[in-house]
Structure formats: structure tokens, C-alpha cells
Amino acid sequence: MSYVGPEFDPPPPHRSRRTPTIVALAALVPGALLGWVVYEAVGSPGGSGSTTGPGGAAGTSPSTDAAAEMPASAAPAASGTDDGKKPAATPSTTATSPGTATGPLAGKVVVIDPGHNPGNFRHSADINRKVDIGTGLKECDTTGTSTNSGYTEAAFTLDVAHRLRDLLQRQGATVKLTQDGDRPFGPCIDERARIGNAAHADAVVSVHADGSASGNRGFHVILPASVHAGAADTRPVVAPSRELGERIAGNFVRVTGSAPSNYVGDGTGLVTRNDLGGLNLSTVPKVFIECGNMRDGKDAALLTSGAWRQKAAQGISEGIVGFLRG
């Protein structure tokens, strides 16, 4: 979730103490323990904080959007929101894709929230507009980050979202995307939350990638804090959201071989936030996942690999399936 602030200029198209604690993983991410042990046993080409996956090492760093989501000590880049919303005047263009009626997830509704929109950078005035997230006001959305070579977070999140949608539909789920690159900008973070709420989703996952400093690596899953302020009341969904996040984190480790973040989460791959509108305003179980740090060369090698993105989608999908099937 790159928390690149409104000042972020999209790059030109052709520019060229962390020892993860096994105890913490066992306690907070039961499913991740086995994958992390395997990771440590196999080793990582990137050394501490890196993992091996198709195309290279994996990891994540707080995206520029993550500046908003992570502790101040985390990433240098950006401002942020997590999920973005469109102005109320713009009709939503999201679509629902029903799964096969006979699959194990038949009757389940999953909303996938691809972070940012490829057109956001052309609409700075619109995405800079403040919206109410319960605990305060925040920008409608941000542009997202990119790799040093110009591969954007918006392109990454849509690609992973499409792969994830296909996997979940094969399980019989009905899948809705909050945006499919089919609108000029947004949606804003409050609308993204409303889309999941209106769908009565059984699970919502917001897909992002960080834009932090080089050397910050590893994925992390962001969980909603207990918030009760203004229009926000996450209390009923904190527990199920944590379960969803733990399932996703464990399966993401196992399938991708990626290590939990070496800069937030104390090696667990889990971070709790109370300043993200997409989480604060959700009335259904919802988490964010920062799949890797686009500003780190080793992570970027993974994020730009189609084979690795398929593994990322698979790991997220298996976490969702495990959560929905109990």
C-alpha cells in the first residue's frame, strides 16, 4: 500500500534486530510458522529480511501509502491512505462476478480492493479532497508508488486482483472489485469501505505494495484497531478481521516463501492500524496486505514477476478460503 502523497510524481514510463521471532509467528500467525521455518532453512538470496520466490527475494516496505499505516520510523516516502474513494457524484463502476454454484465457497461474497487507480495522478485535486474516516479527515486517495523502473503500484494491484478473482471464482465465490481501472480516479477510501459493506461481504482484502526505503523488505498484513468514533465502529469486526489476516499471512509465507516485514510488525507480518479509512469504516471483516517494497531492488524483482504475482494471489486466496471455510 504505497502511501505516496499527492506530491508524488509518477515516474517516466522508461526510467530506468530483524531476526524474525519464531515465538511471535507461532503465537500470532500459526499458519506462517511452518513456512517461515522452511524459509529460514532454505535461505534467502537477499540475506536477512529477504526470501526466495520466483524471480527473486520477497518482502515489503511500507508503501508511500504505508507512511500513513506504519509507525513513523518505517518508510520515508509518503503520505497516506490505504484505500481510496471517488467523489459521491461519480457512479461506482464496480462489477460482481459470480463463482460456480457448486464450489466450496458457493454463497460467499468476497470484495477485492486493488489499491489506488492508474489515473489518480491526473486528478490531484480530486484525490486530495478530504473525507471523513471517523477518527479524522484524510485524503480521498493517493497515487501509489512504483518501482525505480516505473512499474506502478496501481498496475501491480490490478494484476494481483485479477489473478485473485480468478482463483476465488474457481472455488465458487462471488467476487466484486472496488475498481477495475475503469474510472478516471478513485474510488475514495470511504467509498471503498462502503462497497464492501453494501455487498455484505464475507471478507474484504485491500491489495497494496509499499514504497519505503531500500533495504526494508517483507510483506505485512494490516489489521483494523478497535475504533469507535464518528461514523467508524470496528468493534464487531476486529476479531474476525484478525483471523482473516492471520490466515492470509500464514498462507502468504507458505506459498510465496516471502518473509514477514523487517521494518514493522516485529517479525510477525501483522500490524494494527487505526488511521486507515478503508478499515475504520468497514462493517465487514477486512484487512490490507502490503505484498512487498517496490523501492527495494530485491522486492521489486519479485513484484515485477508474473510468476511471483501468481503465487502472491494464491497465498492470499488460500488465506481467504481458510477463513471462509473455518
47-57 per-position pLDDT tens digit: 333 333 333 33
The CA distance from 246 to 252, in Å, is: 10
The CA distance from 239 to 242, in Å, is: 5
The whole-number pLDDT of residue 98 equals 72
Hey, how many other C-beta atoms are within 10 angstroms of the C-beta on 137? 10
Number of domains in the chain: 1
At 258-278, the pLDDT tens digits run 999 999 999 999 999 999 999
318 assigned to active site: no
The whole-number pLDDT of residue 205 equals 99
The CA distance from 320 to 240, in Å, is: 12
The whole-number pLDDT of residue 95 equals 60
Classify residue 105 as exposed, middle or buried by CB count within 10 Å of its CB (0-12, 13-18, 19+).
Answer: buried
Tell me whether residue 230 is in a domain.
yes
Tell me whether residue 4 is in a domain.
no
Q: With beta carbons less than 8 A apart as the criterion, state whether 215 and 108 touch.
A: no
Tell me whether residue 17 is in a domain.
no
Tell me whether residue 16 is in a domain.
no
Hey, how many other C-beta atoms are within 10 angstroms of the C-beta on 233? 16
Catalytic residue among 69, 243, 290, 318: 290
Query: Which residues constitute the domain of residue 239?
Result: 22-325
Hey, how many other C-beta atoms are within 10 angstroms of the C-beta on 103? 16
Tell me whether residue 7 is in a domain.
no
**CATH code assigned at 95:** 3.40.630.40
The CA distance from 315 to 305, in Å, is: 15
Do β-strands 203-210 and 109-114 pair in parallel, antiparallel, or remain unpaired?
A: parallel
How many residues are listed for the chain in this entry? 326
Mean pLDDT of the residues in the chain: 79
pTM of the model: 0.75
The CA distance from 56 to 160, in Å, is: 17
Q: If the chain, 326 residues long, is cut into consecutive pieces of 10 residues, what is the mean pLDDT of each piece?
A: 37 40 40 40 34 33 34 32 36 59 91 97 97 97 97 98 98 98 97 98 98 97 98 98 98 98 97 98 98 98 98 98 96
CA–centroid distance for 39 within its chain: 22
CA–centroid distance for 298 within its chain: 19
Query: For the stretch 27-45, what's the b/e string if a residue is b when 16 or more beta carbons lie within 10 angstroms of its beta carbon?
Result: ebbebbbebbeebeeeebe
AA letter at 46: G
- Within the chain, residue ranges assigned H as helices are 22-28, 30-42, 66-69, 124-127, 153-170, 189-198, 238-256, 277-280, 297-303, 306-325
Tell me whether residue 5 is in a domain.
no
Tell me whether residue 11 is in a domain.
no
Peptide bond into 187 cis (omega under 30): yes
Tell me whether residue 14 is in a domain.
no
The whole-number pLDDT of residue 29 equals 46
